[in-house]
């Protein structure tokens, strides 16, 4: 049997996935603000029509903001999150992005395995200030991280 973590489960998001993505982000207490506008750079893990996981990149020139990394509780710990992060970072590389940043309150210890390092929030590039996630959707206490691709 194919495991939920198999790469074939992960694909680029389409507009039809939005309702499932919005429900997942809401269920996992992550911000939805600005996510739909960047849907073309999201990936999803699906089973049939159900969205089991998602991850997205907001693009600002040659910089990216990784956001909305979430999986449903029933597939947690099976590697789906890692598949999604790797897939969305592959897309970021294919787009020619130089660095990817993220903000998190809940997963500071998750992202170093993909090469992210913690940075001070003052080190976030000013071009990312256009992001709704950075403009208040994410709390001031969130930790900033950076990956050089
Ligand atoms: C973070 C998240 C996407 C991880 O997805 P996942 O598919 O469960 O994770 P994986 O199967 O790829 O990896 C499992 C490993 O990650 C660890 N892990 C999972 N969530 C973690 C978290 N929030 N913080 C630190 N480590 C975490 C597990 O302990 C496990 O560790 P191990 O490899 O040492 O056993 C998932 O926990 C989630 O949806 N959390 C709620 C939303 C959230 O906080 N997203 C991050 C916002 S930026």
> Is the CB of 50 within 6 Å of ligand 1?
no
The predicted structure's pLDDT at residue 134: 80
**In this structure, which residue's CA is closest to atom 44 in ligand 1?**
106
The predicted structure's pLDDT at residue 6: 46
The predicted structure's pLDDT at residue 7: 38
Is residue 53 situated within a structural domain?
A: yes
From first to last of its 149 residues, what are the pLDDT tens digits of the chain?
A: 445 544 348 999 999 999 999 999 999 999 999 999 999 999 999 998 899 999 999 999 999 999 999 999 999 999 999 999 999 999 999 999 999 999 998 899 999 999 999 999 999 999 998 888 887 766 778 899 999 99
Helix (H, G, I), strand (E, B) or coil at 131: coil
Residue 55 structure tokens: 């991850």
pTM, two decimal places: 0.93
Kindly give the pairing relationship between strand 63-71 and strand 99-104. Answer: parallel
Task: Count structural domains, the chain.
Answer: 1
The predicted structure's pLDDT at residue 138: 67
Is residue 57 situated within a structural domain?
A: yes
Is residue 17 situated within a structural domain?
A: yes
> Is the CB of 71 within 6 Å of ligand 1?
yes
Cα 10 to ligand 1 centroid, rounded to whole Å:
17
**Domain encompassing residue 104:** 7-148
Is residue 1 situated within a structural domain?
A: no
For the domain that residue 48 is a member of, what is the CATH number? Answer: 3.40.630.30
The predicted structure's pLDDT at residue 43: 97
What are the Cα distances from residue 123, in Å, to 36, 69, 76, 127, 146?
26, 22, 31, 11, 9
The predicted structure's pLDDT at residue 27: 97
Is residue 87 situated within a structural domain?
A: yes
The predicted structure's pLDDT at residue 142: 87
Is residue 2 situated within a structural domain?
A: no
What are the Cα distances from residue 130, in Å, to 45, 88, 124, 126?
27, 20, 12, 8
Is residue 65 situated within a structural domain?
A: yes
């Amino acid at each position: 049997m194919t495991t939920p973590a198999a790469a074939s489960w992960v694909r680029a998001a389409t507009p039809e996935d939005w309702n499932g993505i919005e429900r997942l982000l809401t269920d996992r207490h992550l911000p939805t603000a600005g996510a739909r506008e960047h849907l073309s750079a999201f990936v999803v893990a699906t089973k049939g029509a159900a969205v089991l996981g998602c991850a997205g990149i907001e693009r600002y020139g040659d910089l990216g903001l990784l956001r909305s990394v979430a999986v449903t509780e029933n597939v947690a710990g099976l590697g789906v999150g890692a598949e999604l992060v790797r897939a969305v970072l592959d897309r970021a590389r294919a787009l020619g992005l130089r660095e990817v940043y993220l903000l998190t309150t809940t997963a500071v210890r998750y992202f170093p395995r993909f090469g992210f390092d913690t940075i001070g929030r003052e080190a976030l590039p000013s071009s990312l200030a256009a992001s709704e996630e950075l403009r208040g959707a994410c709390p001031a206490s969130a930790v900033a991280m950076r990956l050089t691709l």
